[in-house]
Structure 1
Amino acid sequence: MMRFWQTLLLGVKSLLLQKLRSALAALGIFIGTTTVIWLVAMGEGVSHDAQQQILELGATNIIVRSIEPHSSEAAGERVKTYGLTRADYRRMMSNIPTIVRAVPIRELRREFMVGGRRLDAKLIGCTSDHLALNRLQIARGRWLRSDDDRENVIVLADGTAKRLFGYEDPIGQKVRVESDVYTVIGQTKPREASAAVGGSLEARDYRFDAYIPLETFRHRVGDQIMTRTGEGFNFKGEVVELTQITLTVGSVDEVDETASIVSFLLQKYHDQEDYAVVVPKELLRQAERTRTMFNVLLVVIAGISLLVGGIGIMNIMLATVTERTREIGVRRAIGAKRSDIVQQFLAETLVLTGGGGLLGVLFGLMCGPIFDFVRNTAELISPDLLPPIVHTLEPRIALWSVFLSLFISLGVGLIFGVYPARRAAMMNPIDALRHE
């Protein structure tokens, strides 16, 4: 250990003889290390925003739907009973701890009437969580509350309200839906239709919807729906308790496992395939692609930045070996081994790269305050000077980037310091002493 410290101190003293050259050599590693940490922080910030947008689209959701079975046995039945039940909902909530939110709905096409205006729209029985799940916003009035159960209240989507009431305020007015009358308590803001994502999520149009409490739907509309088929008194019916249950889990990693448990529970209590468990695989793959893309980009940046610094270190050390040829000859003449020469020059290289790396890490950790200062200064000069994404970007320091940049800087010192050190050690002592 004493010998190691002596070699290290000797390397520091040798570097201090050429302070400017040593500082410039360490500057390359300093810039490379700082660049890695800063760019990783920027990349993590952008990646985090992208991940949040993907998650908002429903990457952590599992959609369980009721589907009508097509078995030959059920083909002749006048009233079919199928799909999800309220018991299924209770079993999922009590047996699957990874579920953080479950939103059941029941929906049907119905004719809405206000005065002489008529509209065929979708009547949706839902809970208070339906608003946040579908990223709906209230334009007038309020949304459904838990104490609205069994009350004849309704919230209209923007398109539904405009078709039935024009530009008149619908709050407090009555809407007839088939034989029931509901009081309008709210109207949602316009919401763009969601596009289909791969084969996982279907497109959804929110313009012509109307929302009532799920319990109200159950008691006013009921589970059994009869529809006329053809002329006369031919009717066909179906009994469905829930159209869909949307489950939300805590993280993307829990989606597949939770979906498997849901499928197991449904298989156990359903004697026919009258349900579908839909996992947003396309969104999950997009999230994984985004994460991988940023990781690869950051590794490339780290390699290029520190490679440039390493080449600078190697150049300086080769020049140092040439300048100190006579010193190397004297050391060899008084008994220094080749390994001692190698250790001396490697120690000097590690001091340069280690010192530059540590300073780079300290400066890199100041990424957030410096970025905020530069952004605020640019906004004072001109609000339109920066792209919109920069105004909301928040750098996120990744701990792994700190250790990676420091490790790479030391590795660069070893790799690019070996050749100059070996070149110094392989010198002939007699030729080295004759060197002018």
Structure 2
Amino acid sequence: ANVIIRSVKPQPTSDTPAVSSSSSVLAYGLTYSDLRQIKDLQLVGSTIVPAVAHKKNLQHAKNYRTGARIIATTENLPGVKELHIRGRFFNEDDVSKSANVAVIGQAIAEELYDFDDPIGETLLVGDDAYRVIGVVGHRDSGSATPHSKTATDHNDEIYIPITSAQNRMGIVQRLVETGSRQYVRIELSEITVHLQDQNQVRPLASVIRSLLAQSHGGKRDYEVQVPLDLLNQAEREKRLWNLVLGSIAGISLLVGGIGIMNIMLATVTERTREIGIRRAIGAKRRHIIMQFLMETTVLSTSGGILGVIVGVLLPLLFTMILGITTSTSVVSIIVAFAISVATGIIFGVYPAYKASMMNPIEALRHQ
């Protein structure tokens, strides 16, 4: 379980007006002093990972990539972010020596190195040459990176030792906006505190909020995020969606069942004389009931089979066209089919009962 602290650009107020000069430096966010204070808490079973986000152009041979995300961090990041590395990640020795080594995302590897293996090759990051020592394998976006409130794709990032970034990139970054240039000074973009005990997450988040509120003098240039809260919110939204979708499905079943009942009632009316003939030659009421229930079952079974086919093919179509990963379980197919058949049978009981209760003499007179 993690507590994530991020640098956030503060909103201008009357006391802190927006920077409007054509070339200026705006300093905000987390600092190494904040990192030391968090480390001084001496949390048992914790791993603290600082990170700094940069944007640089990349080049290998004739291949270019502009504005790539560079994440400068420590050797503990893969364990905290659950990254899958081919090759290796930089180690403590690489960080202490400010080694020019880099771990690149799979998407960047494919774009810059085509079909070649990038491990051991040189990559130009800005004006500095780095040796590629590992590749982050394909994985779903599962955790956020610096400067982002939402999940981002680790396959599209580059990781370098934080000491290397300090020596070669500094802590002042240039942002070019329409009609102006602005320089931003951010010592740390993100600090992730990984805890073994999930029960300590929320108390620690409260302690860190109090600590930073004091050290930053009330300046809201950071945010403390607990993924557990986001997970709980996502679960609540999921339950709400399940309720909405379940209500829609229930209404659809009700409408479909009423439709089947109306069809069977019309069928009973049209076949009144046939029912009278069957009763006259010895058919009992239960035989009439079974006849119409069988017809209702065939009707609902046909609809259920058609629904299963559509329900299986549509997710496959979405996956092929939109690239959205979908899954269909055998259990859900069986349950949906059984509910479809059961709905038809339930709503077919009344028409079958009505047919069985007809007076044979009156039925024979029906034209």
Aligned pair partner of 2:77 in 122, 127, 130? 130
Q: Is the 8 A contact 1:93 1:99 kept in 2?
A: no
Q: Which amino acid aligns with 2:10?
A: P
Q: Is the 8 A contact 2:106 2:155 kept in 1?
A: yes
TM-superposed CA distance for 1:256, in Å, is 1.4
User: Closer, same or farther in 2 for the Cα pair 1:113/1:83, shift >3 Å?
Assistant: same
Secondary structure of the residue that 2:89 maps to in structure 1? coil
TM-superposed CA distance for 1:235, in Å, is 2.6
User: Closer, same or farther in 2 for the Cα pair 1:259/1:195, shift >3 Å?
Assistant: closer
Deviations 1:54-111 (A, max 9, x none): xxxxxx2111000001123241262111100111111101125256111111112221
Q: Does 1:154 align with 2:102?
A: yes
Aligned pair partner of 1:81 in 22, 27, 48? 27
| Aligned residue pairs, count | 228
User: Closer, same or farther in 2 for the Cα pair 1:172/1:110, shift >3 Å?
Assistant: same
Q: Which amino acid aligns with 2:77?
A: H
Cα distance between partner residues in 1 of 2:143 and 2:79:
18
Normalised to the residue count of structure 2, the TM-score between the two structures is 0.57
User: Closer, same or farther in 2 for the Cα pair 1:225/1:118, shift >3 Å?
Assistant: same
Secondary structure of the residue that 1:95 maps to in structure 2? coil
Q: Which amino acid aligns with 1:129?
A: N
| Counterpart position of 1:207 | 155
| Counterpart position of 1:101 | 47
Q: Which amino acid aligns with 1:116?
A: K
User: Closer, same or farther in 2 for the Cα pair 1:125/1:193, shift >3 Å?
Assistant: same
Cα distance between partner residues in 1 of 2:84 and 2:173:
31
Deviations 1:159-208 (A, max 9, x none): 11111101101122111111111111111211122289xxx972221121
| Counterpart position of 2:207 | 261
| Counterpart position of 1:11 | none
Alignment of 1:284-299 (within 5 A): none
User: Closer, same or farther in 2 for the Cα pair 1:105/1:195, shift >3 Å?
Assistant: closer
Cα distance between partner residues in 1 of 2:62 and 2:106:
19
Q: Identify the structure with bigger relative contact order (alpha carbons < 8 Å, sequence gap 6+).
A: 1
Q: CA RMSD in A?
A: 2.9
User: Closer, same or farther in 2 for the Cα pair 1:195/1:238, shift >3 Å?
Assistant: closer
User: Closer, same or farther in 2 for the Cα pair 1:182/1:151, shift >3 Å?
Assistant: same
Aligned pair partner of 2:126 in 172, 178, 189? 178
Cα distance between partner residues in 1 of 2:136 and 2:161:
15
Cα distance between partner residues in 1 of 2:26 and 2:233:
37
| Counterpart position of 1:169 | 117
User: Closer, same or farther in 2 for the Cα pair 1:251/1:155, shift >3 Å?
Assistant: same
Normalised to the residue count of structure 1, the TM-score between the two structures is 0.48
Cα distance between partner residues in 2 of 1:182 and 1:86:
25
TM-superposed CA distance for 1:286, in Å, is 7.8
Identity across aligned pairs (percent)? 29
Alignment of 1:242-257 (within 5 A): 242-257=188-203
Higher mean displacement: 177-186 or 90-99: 90-99
